[in-house]
Amino acid sequence: MDKDGQATGGAFPIGGARRQAPDILAIVADDRRAMVAEVCDAVRGERWAWTDWHGATERLEHAGSVGIVLADTRGVSEAQLAPVLSQLDAFARGAGQRVIVALDFEQIDLISAALATPGIELLCAPSLAEYVAALFVAGGGTGGVRDSGREAEAERLRQLHEQVARIAETLARLTGEATDLPARESGHVGEHGMSYRGGPAAAAASPIAARDIRDAIRARRMRDQHFGSGLFEDPAWDMLLDLFAAELERSQVSVSSLCIAAAVAPTTALRWIAKLTDAGLFERQPDPFDRRRAFMALSARASAAMRAYFGAVQRIGAPIA
């Protein structure tokens, strides 16, 4: 600690409030400190402080009323990360406390295995705009955001949450668990009379083959070759297909592999994985042989719904899409 009682690192007060507990604590190496300063300035938090990774453990032990922790793990060794990640997970379990982690793609499995608490935002190689948006959505924009376009990110996250809710509702119907589902939020009108219903679930005409699911995934990726990427993004379904194929193959899927299967930017894929896990469709399964890694799998409800869906597709003779 220095003569002012600060842990390794320092404070960059906004509004001259050096000795008060900061709103935002940034854990960042010296070579990324300038970028984090720009992020916090853009969000205009009332107070923020920083520490390097050598002082992170001590600073988190005395975090006090800090509401948000920004941790930039890029370029940080596993040995340095290990003791801090468990602290970050514990911090995120606190009431109203948020954690945002910027990471490299190669760190996805390590960090996602260590940070299992809902609400932790993982940003894979984020741009400055993505960094600012995540901080704003987490509640760091107490003084307003200079770029009002960041509000669009909050709206996008709200829409993502609603999409996941609709997926969960549809899968619940397929498994017969939706007899008393609550009504949609106001503003959403369900045109049930216009929807197609395939009839009651029944046993599939033939066993569902993993090869057929993999063929469908390959066909979906071929669309991008002819129309360009981004036009057919559907990460939730792509990941459901990948996990269902893995279940049929009796294989395991790492978080990083599932991000690739989603066919979207890694940060977007991680956000969908978190939402689908919260919705009870995905399950995180720790690797019994390596605590630094976790696998993703379909929940029992999602697995039953996938089997019911493909059974219905077989009955009408339609291709898997």
CA distances from 315 to 171, 174, 221, 296 (A): 18, 15, 25, 29
pLDDT of 274: 93
249, burial (CB in 10 Å: exposed 0-12, middle 13-18, buried 19+): middle
- Report pLDDT for 211: 93
Q: Are 138 and 68 in contact (CB under 8 A)?
A: yes
- Domains in the chain and their CATH numbers? 9-146 (3.40.50.2300), 154-176+201-315 (1.10.10.10)
pLDDT digits (tens, 9 = 90+) for 152-180: 555 565 565 555 556 656 656 655 654 44
Which stretches of the chain score pLDDT less than 50? 1-8, 11-19, 142-150, 178-196, 201-204
Quickly tell me which residue has 């988190």 as its tokens: 60
pLDDT (0 to 100) of residue 36: 86
Q: In what order do the strands lie in the sheet with 282-286?
A: 253-254, 294-298, 282-286
The whole-angstrom distance between residue 90's C-alpha and the CA centroid of its chain comes to: 18
CA of 214: how far to CAs of 177, 246, 248, 312, 316, in Å? 28, 9, 11, 18, 20
In this structure, what token pair is assigned to residue 319?
Answer: 């291709």
- Say how far apart CA 34 and CA 55 lie, in whole Å: 18
Q: Can you name the residues that pair with 68 across neighbouring β-strands?
A: 24, 98
What's the rounded Cα separation, in Å, for the pair 138 and 69? 10
DSSP 8-state secondary structure symbol assigned to residue 48 = E
Tokens at 232, concatenated: 């057919």
Q: Which of 64, 94, 269, 80 is nearest to 72 (CA)?
A: 80
Distances (CA, A) of 177 to 168, 215, 259, 302, 304: 11, 30, 29, 11, 11
> Within a 10 A sphere around the Cβ of 97, how many other Cβ atoms?
18
What's the CA gap between 2 and 25, in Å, rounded?
A: 17
Write down the H helix ranges in 250-299. Answer: 255-262, 266-278
Q: E strands along 159-298, which residues?
A: 253-254, 282-286, 294-298
